Amino acid sequence: MNIPLLKLDVAQLKQHKESSKKKLSAYTISTDELGLDLSLLSEKAVKCIRILQASGFKAYLVGGCVRDLLLGKSPKDFDVSTDATPNQIVKILPNSRIIGRRFQIVHAVRGNEIIEITTFRNNKVQAKTGVSPKMSNRVSDQSGMLLRDNVFGKSITQDAQRRDFTINALYLDPESRLIYDYTGGLYDLVKMQIDMIGDPSTRYLEDPVRMIRALRFSAKLGFKITKRTSAPIQKLKENLLEVSNARMYEEVNKLFLTGHGYESFCILRQFGIFELLFPGTVELLNNKSYTDFVEYSLKSSDARSAIKKPNMPHFLYSVLLYPVFRQSYYEIERENEYSIKPLTLTELTTIAVNNVLNAQYSVTDIPYATTESITSMWRTQIQFDTANEKAAAALSEKGIFRAAFDFLVIRSYFEPYLEPMVTLLRPYYQRAKELALQRMKEKEQRKIAKKEKNALKLEKRKKKKATRANASFDDEQYTSKDRQEQLRKAKEWRKAMKLDI
């Protein structure tokens, strides 16, 4: 891998990592020495750091942006870490606000960019007797999972200990152009490995999502997970079910929608976590047809990400849970055949969808708009199975049609009987695609026209203002009628008084 870190002495980095386990000390390296291009950093994040430092606080870039910069990738997710408290931050930085209860952080809005700013956290908490849990800044449940952790630290070393993995505990000061490593993250980057800071079991009990993060970084970066970091996962993976379903929804999206979905699927299966995240698929994972279908779909999604095309949650869930839905739908349909009052296709679909998504909801809190799209996607698949040319024309008018057709194409690779339907629908798909592109162009043209119109108005206002400012007392062209009359009388009076002679 062509990364700037290869310029460093690996033996020296290893020695630092070993010593950091006993006592934290900084391994400092200049960004100039590594040849890093700091122009790739967010100017707005750097400005936030500059303001905080000018106010007497310490502030650094930390996490993924530093890691990616060192790996020779284009950095993103610019997170700032500082010794300023959230209340101090919002007083210093305009247009910023405190969010979160479990972990208080500050979002500083800068144009269309949100800079996430966290206060240093403290790993060691002095025990306090007679203090109500509600009054404590760090609250855990009986398993050790942190429910709230707003114990702020005063030093970067304290904060480094509270980070999850060594490769995410690297700090960059863009002003001094120095990188600080307290936990051996530089060594682990060179060795391409994921290693937990502190005792992995304890850290997983504090926050089970760290198990998901370890697997996600492995899938995303192609790094191996150290044995000590991976060993407790099998034993503790059930703790993931205690995490809020809203948070798990976001984590699942990060696993599958950001360009490494196939790798995520493989590693989740390896650790037996995929079936925890998607409980309805337990009986399907030994079915090669299902795994082939999912793998092909995820590779297709990853290919879209590679060319900067977005992947949507409704398509992901539609793919992963479609066989589960289909099984439920067929069971209900068979029962419906003997019903005195048969259900309509819409009613059958709704019941089957609810069966699947209600079970899934216990793990991931899928938003209502997304469930509506999933329902429409699956219902359209049922309609595709029996559509004629007239029905195809009607289906092509649906808002979900293009995504549903893409899904149908994927299905046809595994269900050859669908190929005639794909052929029938393709012209409608092309027409829908052309119309969408046309609408997009028209929207962009309207946007450009509006921008030009506003610029023209602004220019006219500036010219008018400048003209008025430069107009002399005698420039009657730029004065009102009343003012012109006043000027005329004034001139006549001056003439009568012979003041202009």
C-alpha Rg value of the chain to the nearest Å: 31
The 3-state DSSP class for residue 339 equals coil
Return d(Cα 348, Cα 364) in angstroms, integer.
24
Q: Quote the distance between the C-alpha of residue 275 and its chain's center.
A: 23
Instruction: With CA atoms as reference, report the closest residue to 172 among 18, 270, 13, 65.
Output: 65
Q: Which of the 8 DSSP states describes residue 152?
A: B
Please pick, among 9, 32, 37, 77, the residue that the annotation labels catalytic: 77
Task: Give me the phi and psi of 179, to 5 degrees please.
Answer: -110, 135
- For the packed helices 419-470 and 368-386, what is the interaxial angle rounded to 10 degrees? 140
Question: 218-227 burial, b for 16+ CB within 10 Å, e for fewer?
Answer: bbbbebebbe
Please pick, among 164, 173, 207, 302, the residue that the annotation labels catalytic: 164
Return d(Cα 433, Cα 452) in angstroms, integer.
28
Q: Quote the distance between the C-alpha of residue 389 and its chain's center.
A: 41
**Token digits for 107?**
């979002």
141 catalytic? Reply is: no
79 catalytic? Reply is: yes
**Token digits for 198?**
């502190």
Return d(Cα 360, Cα 375) in angstroms, integer.
14
Beta sheet of 178-181, edge-to-edge order: 27-30, 178-181, 170-173, 59-62, 79-82, 113-119, 105-110, 96-99
Task: Give me the phi and psi of 116, to 5 degrees please.
Answer: -90, 125
164 catalytic? Reply is: yes
Residues designated as active site: 77, 79, 164
